[in-house]
A and B are shown apart, each in its own frame.
Chain A
Amino acid sequence: MFYSPVITNGSEAAASDKLHLFKYVEDSEQYKLMTFESHGGYKAWKKVLTEMQPQQVIDEVKNSGLRGRGGAGFPTGMKWGFVPKDSSKPRYLCCNADESEPGTCKDRVLMERDPHGVIEGMAIGAYAIGCHTMFIYIRGEFNHCIDRMEQAVEEAYAKGHLGKNIHGSGYDLDMIVHTGGGAYICGEETALLNSLEGERGMSRIRPPFPAIEGLYACPTIVNNVESLAAVPHIINRGAEWYRTLGTEKSAGTKLFSLSGHVKRPGNYEVELGFSLKKLLYDPAYGGGILGDKKLKGVIPGGASTPFLTPEMIDVNLDYESLTAVGSMLGSGAVIVFDEDTCIVWVIQKLIQFFKHESCGKCTPCREGTGWLKQIIDRIEAGGGQPGDIEKIEEICGNILGRTICPLGDAAVMPIQSSIRLWREEWQYHIEHGKCMVKTEFPFK
Chain B
Amino acid sequence: MADDTRKKTTTKAVATVTLTIDGKSITVPKGTTVLEAALQNGIHIPTFCWHPKLKSVGACRMCYVEIEKMAKLQVSCATEAVEGMVVHTDSDNVKQGRRAIIEFILLNHPLDCPTCDKGGECDLQNLTFEHGYDDSRFDFRKSRFVDEGSTSTFDDVRIGPEIVLNRNRCILCYKCVRANKEAFGEYDLGAYERGNITQINSAPGEKVDNPFSGNLVEICPVGALTNSDWRYKIRVWLTKTTPSLCNFTSSGTNTLFYKEDHQNKIFRTTSRRNDDIDDGWLPDVTRYGYQIVNSPDRLRVPLIKKEGKQVEATWDEALDLIHKHFTEISDKMGSVCIGGLASPSLDNKSLYAFSKFFRTVLNSNNVDFRSDYRMLPPDAETVFSRLCSRPFKIADIDDSDVVFVFGSDLLREHPNEYLRMRKACNFNNARVFVVNPYATKAADIAALEAVYKVGSDEQAINGICLAAIDDNLVSGPKAKALAEKLSPLTLPETSKACGITVDDLRILARALAESRKISFMCGEIVTRSKERETITTAVSNLNLLFGLENKGQVASLARYANSGGACKLGVQPSPAPAVKDKLKEIWGGYPECEPHNTDSMLALMKKEEVAGFFVIGANPIMLHPDRQFVREGLEKLDFLVACDLFESETTEIADVVLPLCSWAEYDGEYVNLEGRSQRAERAVKPMFESRPGCEIIKLITAKYEKSLGEDEQLTSEIQQLLDLDSALPLPTEFMAVKVVVEDKQDEGFEIPLFVTDDPHHCGHLTEKSPSLTSFADDAYLEIGPDLAERLKLKEGDNVRVESPVGKVIVPARISEHIENDVVLIPRNFSSTPITSLLMRKKRIDRVTLSKVDS
Contacts and interface: CB of A to CB of B under 8 A. Distances in A.
Interface of A: 183, 185, 200, 204-205, 207, 355-364, 366-371, 374, 391, 398, 401-404
A371 B195 contact: no
Interface stretch (B6-14, B103-111, B711-719, B783-791): B103-111
B332 interface: no
B57 A370 contact: no
B107 A357 contact: no
A355 B60 contact: no
Interface in B413-470: none
Nearest to B78: A205
Classify chain B's interface size: 35 or more
B147 interface: no
Given A205-B58, A362-B59, A401-B73, A391 B137 contact: yes
Given A357-B194, A363-B59, A401-B73, 18 more contacts: A205-B75, A207-B80, A356-B194, A359-B195, A360-B197, A361-B59, A362-B61, A363-B61, A364-B61, A366-B195, A367-B105, A369-B195, A370-B108, A370-B143, A398-B103, A402-B64, A404-B58, A404-B59
Contact of B104 (A185, A200, A367, A404): A367
Given A200-B190, A200-B191, A369 B60 contact: no
B108 A205 contact: no
Interface string B170-183: 01101000000000
Given A360-B191, A361-B174, A364-B101, A374 B78 contact: no
Contacts of B198: 359-360, 366
A116 to B, nearest CB: 35
Contacts of A358: 194-196
B72 interface: yes
B72 A402 contact: yes
Contact of B61 (A355, A360, A371, A402): A402
Nearest to A387: B137
A157 B639 CA distance: 82
Contact of A370 (B107, B174, B191): B107
Contact of B195 (A200, A204, A370): A370
A355 B191 CA distance: 17
A369 B197 CA distance: 11
Nearest to B190: A200
A363 B190 CA distance: 18
B731 interface: no
Nearest to A361: B59
Given A356-B194, A367-B107, A370-B196, A398 B58 contact: no
Contacts of B61: 362-364, 402-403
A374 B59 CA distance: 23
Residue in A355, A363, A368, A403 whose Cβ sees the most chain B Cβ within 10 Å: A363
A207 B143 CA distance: 34
Given A355-B195, A360-B172, A398 B75 contact: no
B741 interface: no
Give 7 nearest A-B pairs by CB, closest first. Answer: A360-B198, A370-B196, A367-B104, A398-B100, A358-B195, A205-B58, A401-B72
Nearest to B57: A205
Contacts of B107: 367, 370-371
Nearest to A217: B429
A195 to B, nearest CB: 13
B237 interface: no
A360 B195 CA distance: 4
B97 interface: yes
A366 B107 CA distance: 11
Contacts of B194: 183, 185, 356-360
Residue in B61, B64, B75 whose Cβ sees the most chain A Cβ within 10 Å: B61
12 contacts: A205-B58, A355-B195, A356-B195, A357-B194, A360-B172, A360-B197, A363-B59, A363-B171, A366-B104, A366-B196, A366-B198, A391-B137
A37 B198 CA distance: 48
Nearest to A359: B194
A358 B56 CA distance: 20
Given A205-B78, A398-B104, A360 B193 contact: yes
B138 interface: yes
Interface in B61-114: 61-62, 64, 71-73, 75, 78, 80, 97, 100-101, 103-105, 107-108
Contact of B196 (A185, A369, A402, A404): A369
Contacts of B174: 361
Interface of B is mostly: loop
A359 B59 CA distance: 11
Contacts of A355: 195-196
A401 B104 CA distance: 15
Interface in B669-721: none
B140 interface: yes
Contacts of A374: 140
Contacts of B97: 398, 402
A361 B57 contact: yes
A430 to B, nearest CB: 14
A349 to B, nearest CB: 16
B174 to A, nearest CB: 7
A409 to B, nearest CB: 10
Contact of B172 (A185, A356, A366): A366
A312 to B, nearest CB: 25
Nearest to A365: B195
Nearest to B104: A367
Interface string B102-137: 011101100000000000000000000000000001
Contacts of A200: 190-191
Interface in B631-652: none
Contacts of A205: 56-58, 75, 78
A355 B143 CA distance: 14
Given A205-B75, A366-B195, A371 B138 contact: yes
Nearest to B193: A360
A367 B137 contact: no
A183 B108 CA distance: 24
Contact of B73 (A366, A371, A391, A402): A402
Contacts of B143: 370
B741 to A, nearest CB: 44
Contacts of B71: 401
A337 B60 CA distance: 37
A427 B225 CA distance: 44
Contacts of A357: 194-195
A368 B104 contact: yes
A356 B140 CA distance: 18
Contacts of B193: 360
Contacts of A360: 172, 191, 193-198
A398 B100 CA distance: 6
Nearest to B96: A398
Residue in B62, B80, B198 whose Cβ sees the most chain A Cβ within 10 Å: B198
A404 B190 CA distance: 20
A416 B71 CA distance: 19
Contacts of B140: 371, 374
Contacts of B100: 364, 398, 402
A291 to B, nearest CB: 36
Residue in B57, B75, B190, B195 whose Cβ sees the most chain A Cβ within 10 Å: B195
Contacts of A401: 71-73
B288 to A, nearest CB: 30
A233 to B, nearest CB: 37
Contacts of B103: 398
Contacts of A185: 194
Contacts of B137: 391
A131 to B, nearest CB: 21
A392 to B, nearest CB: 11
A398 B190 CA distance: 28
A361 B190 CA distance: 13
Nearest to B60: A363
A398 B138 CA distance: 15
A368 B105 CA distance: 9
A398 B58 CA distance: 16
